[in-house]
Amino acid sequence: MMANPPRRPQNPMDAAEALFRKRLSKPAVPAVERPALPEAKELVTIKLDSAVIEHFQKDGPGWQDRINEVLRAAVAIDTGE
């Protein structure tokens, strides 16, 4: 038996567990909710049918804005605006 055992674990599994334990001991910082600016656009990923994309792209640039206009109109109908 060693008089002074090493401070760091020699076993890789023990070393990994020691690192994991350190991560768990720190409290998680809550995400900051920032109010969205009116009319601000957010970058999102959405899956659409190919036919839908082709329909909006056939008139050239601005197709994403056209999709946004249609969705905005659908929301206005749904909410009664």
Q: Which residue has the tokens 């090493």?
A: 6
| pLDDT, position 61 | 95
Contact 64, 70 (CB under 8 A): no
Cα 28 to Cα 26: distance, rounded to the nearest angstrom: 6
Average pLDDT of the residues of the chain? 81
Is 2 strand, coil or helix? Answer: coil
Give me 36's structure tokens.
């969205």
Residue 62 pLDDT class (50, 70, 90 cuts): very high
pLDDT digits (tens, 9 = 90+) for 14-44: 877 877 776 655 666 777 777 777 778 888 8
| pLDDT, position 27 | 67
Residue 2 has pLDDT above 70, yes or no: no
Distant-in-sequence, close-in-space partners of 50: CB < 8 Å, separation ≥ 6: none
